[in-house]
Structure 1
Amino acid sequence: MVSRSDELFVEDVVVPRWGRVVTAEGVVPFVVVGDDGEVLAPVAEFLRDFVARGNSAGSVRSYSFVLLRWWRWLRVVEVPWQRATSGEVRDLVLWLRQTSKPRNSARTASLATVGTVNAVTRKPYLNDRYAARTVRHNNAVLRSFYDDWIERGEGPLLNPVAQNRRGGRFPGAHWNPAEPFRDEKRLRYNPKVPRRFPRDVPDERWDELFAALRSDRDRAMLALAVSSAARAGELLGLRCCDIDWGDQLIRVVRKGTRAQQWIPASSEAFVWLRLVIAAHPTGHAGDSVWWTLRRRDRGGGLRAQPLSYDALRAVLRRVNDRLATNWTMHDLRHTCAIRMLRDARLSLRDIQVILGHAHLSTTQLYLDQDDHDVIHRVHEHLKTVRERPPATAAVSSPVGVGYDAADLAILFGQVPS
């Protein structure tokens, strides 16, 4: 371990894989335990309040891993969680920005592509470093954790995840009322996030991707995604009773708000969906639409069970390996949004409703043009200019059309030759 009284070189720190996140019975679906199997009481109490505020199980799991990482770091620097300062947060951010993420197994096939850019999709492959958004999420979780304990009258006197204020002593003094108001508060050690543009799947690439699918279930899933803009998690939660065949609508539970919403999909998607329902194991109204076959743990052949997110990722991974691409389900959501944006009959408000965005400013991100689209249009412009016939030289005429030579002689003092 490294003592805070000693010089701390973050590039030399090795954080042990102490503790783990485990599932739990009761209202809190996940808890953090130490190597001795004991639940971390401060984290458990915070997560209990976090669940009471209506947050989903996925958010509880995400927060649990962040707090486990924080506890591992505190053990390295030998600082109790109640006495943590902004120095520990700063050093953790520095360590996260230069270290590699732990892996349960070494890379094999993906070793050749990690950190590179795909030549077909022009999308970068994931690398083994923590992204800037991950570091910002880490800081936000820690800020929320300490805010909760400070409000209880326990923990440190000041939140170790400090904030900065832009604009000097009077933030917002030069704010233009014609522009949306921006909160001037910013976490001190938040790294800058590179600007990302929504990227769609071109029509010819979509045809290749769809043709590479091997089952009606996969074709129905991707056809729904590219025509309804629903997220992968929203589609995986689809039940048989969530399909309106007459109006060609599906009912999804929105991420975050957990609100139910009916959204339209294409006729082609419903054709593939009909084939999936026809092969449904039970056909009960409350059953999941998507099923897969898995072997039983102790033999006995195959067993039908609902399709999981990991199984859906495996479907795309097999297709991407075949096409040498790295498309994701979220690319299909971007594709649907950009296609709707190019339709003059749809307003930005219409697109916001279909995407399920709470704020119109989120939908406006799709107005930003990807550099590739701009380059494509400029190439088309240059091609048009190149193919345009050269202008013929005008045949000189002694007198302009419609003018009398005598009048021009009086005006200019001579007759044009």
Structure 2
Amino acid sequence: MPWLVVDGNGQPVEPIRRFLTDFVARDNRTGSIRSYAYVLLRWWRWLRVVEVEWDHATSEETRDLVLWLQQAPKERVSARTISAATAGKVNPRTRKQYLDDRYKPRTIRHSNAVLRSFYEFWLETGEGPVINPVPLARPGRRAHAHHNPLERHTAEGRIRYNPRLPKRRPREMPDEGWNSFFAGLRSDRDRAIVSLAVSNGARAAELLGVCGADLNWGEQLVRVVRKGTGAEQWLPASPDAFMWIRLYLAALGETPGLREPLWWTLRRRDRGDGLRRHPLNYEALRAVFRRVNALLETNWTMHDLRHTAALRMARDQHLTLKDVQVILGHAHLSTTADVYLWEEDEAVVRRVATHLADRQHRPEQPAEPLALGYDSSDLSVLFGGFQP
């Protein structure tokens, strides 16, 4: 078990342990197990506050937890320092909002989904409560009204206390912003990583998992392991990205093995086993972005490069939306269409202004001639001699 929830005595909480064991057996990734464990830890703490046992919880406890999450600040390991002045504000350069200490609607919806799946597991075993304390909203009709008795029951409707998600546009990095950001990078390794990300839209975790055998120099392809499915996929990369990879490996002075990570720290560090390089992790990559953002007074992230690559591909007339879906690794075409098929407000305003200007200077069209009258003899033949 990569993650467990323990009580005050350091012993695993048995209901959560059994659920997570089943969750691991269904071949879920370590990151998902960690996320579920933290949600259940928060739920257990909440039940302790309201003095309710886990198998006696009702929809009232779920409702009150949602209300609390909507107004409570997050717990922080350490207090904010530099970021305290910008938390929750909008960056004037990127037009992006800085993260604040509030729980977002997606976090609350994820919490509800985890809790509902936890209680569904115990309902199936017959050892938990009789009713799931995370109810569904089914307006207008009875649940499973037309259910086929030969098929298993599936969930219907959305969770009752899920907050609405605001419609958000993808965070694109403009060309001038990209040029400034790229100029602020300090090493060929960092330039190689961001060049790969902006050329094929791979996620940070996917790029950090690339090994020496995952580079096809002849075809200029990079093999990544997709998040969620774990499937291997070859992605194209720009010639500039491979140029920066070559420069990075030349400066590194060491060629990673076929099964060794491609990205390494630039300096050797001693962690009790002598001076040596260590594989680059996600926190170190975030530090790269923090340095550049502090220099430019921006708040770009690695995921903004994925959005930028996707929007560039979506606007290319030589690529179909199916092509974009395959490169991004989306399971459904509708996901790609919903996120990346949108028009900039400025472009729409310009086109409408041009339309109005054209109508202002468009010459008036001559009136079309009226239809001539019908001949009475034709009407007589048409109606068989009957005259109205």
Q: Give the Å deviation of 1:281.
A: 3.9
Q: Which residue of 1 aligns with 2:55?
A: 82
Can you list the C-alpha shifts for 1:237-260, whole angstroms capped at 9, x where unaligned? 000100000000000000111000
Q: Give the Å deviation of 1:282.
A: 5.1
Q: Give the Å deviation of 1:185.
A: 0.8
Q: Give the Å deviation of 1:276.
A: 2.2
Change (3 A) 1:124 1:294: farther
- Return the alpha-carbon distance in structure 1 between the equivalents of residues 295 and 145 of structure 2: 53
Determine if the alignment matches structure 1 residue 334 to structure 2 residue 317: no
Q: Which residue of 1 aligns with 2:116?
A: 143
TM-score by length of 2: 0.85
Match of 1:270 among 210, 220, 242: 242
Report 1:139-288 matches (<5 A): 139-169=112-142, 185-278=157-250, 279=252, 281=254, 283-288=256-261
CA contact (8 A) 2:136 2:156 kept: no
Q: Which residue of 2 aligns with 1:295?
A: 269
Can you list the C-alpha shifts for 1:156-179, whole angstroms capped at 9, x where unaligned? 101100001144348999xxxxxx
- Return the alpha-carbon distance in structure 2 between the equivalents of residues 69 and 303 of structure 1: 39
CA contact (8 A) 2:170 2:307 kept: yes
**Partner secondary structure for residue 101 of structure 1:** coil
- Return the alpha-carbon distance in structure 2 between the equivalents of residues 69 and 142 of structure 1: 10
Match of 1:43 among 7, 13, 16: 16
Can you list the C-alpha shifts for 1:15-41, whole angstroms capped at 9, x where unaligned? xxxxxxxxxxxxx21111122111111
Q: Give the Å deviation of 1:380.
A: 8.1
% identity of equivalent residues? 58
CA contact (8 A) 1:150 1:157 kept: yes
Task: Give the letter for the 2:105 counterpart.
Answer: A
Task: Give the letter for the 1:225 counterpart.
Answer: A
- Return the alpha-carbon distance in structure 1 between the equivalents of residues 71 and 61 of structure 2: 16
**Partner secondary structure for residue 278 of structure 2:** strand
- Return the alpha-carbon distance in structure 2 between the equivalents of residues 172 and 193 of structure 1: 29
- Return the alpha-carbon distance in structure 2 between the equivalents of residues 43 and 217 of structure 1: 42
Can you list the C-alpha shifts for 1:227-280, whole angstroms capped at 9, x where unaligned? 011001100100010000000000000011100000101000010011223326
Match of 1:52 among 25, 30, 36: 25
- Return the alpha-carbon distance in structure 1 between the equivalents of residues 41 and 352 of structure 2: 55
Change (3 A) 1:67 1:170: closer
Change (3 A) 1:171 1:382: farther
> What number of residue pairs does the alignment pair up?
352
Change (3 A) 1:263 1:207: same
Change (3 A) 1:197 1:170: same
TM-score by length of 1: 0.79
**Partner secondary structure for residue 145 of structure 1:** helix
Determine if the alignment matches structure 1 residue 309 to structure 2 residue 282: yes
Q: Give the Å deviation of 1:296.
A: 2.3
CA contact (8 A) 1:280 1:289 kept: no
- Return the alpha-carbon distance in structure 2 between the equivalents of residues 368 and 311 of structure 1: 33
Determine if the alignment matches structure 1 residue 375 to structure 2 residue 349: no
Gaps of 5+ in 2: 147-154, 364-388
Gaps of 5+ in 1: 1-27, 174-182, 394-417
- Return the alpha-carbon distance in structure 2 between the equivalents of residues 382 and 135 of structure 1: 42
CA contact (8 A) 1:229 1:355 kept: yes
CA contact (8 A) 2:143 2:156 kept: no
CA contact (8 A) 1:32 1:68 kept: yes
- Return the alpha-carbon distance in structure 2 between the equivalents of residues 138 and 146 of structure 1: 13
Change (3 A) 1:170 1:138: closer
- Return the alpha-carbon distance in structure 1 between the equivalents of residues 197 and 140 of structure 2: 43
Q: Give the Å deviation of 1:320.
A: 0.7
Change (3 A) 1:42 1:184: closer
Q: Give the Å deviation of 1:109.
A: 0.6
Change (3 A) 1:309 1:277: same
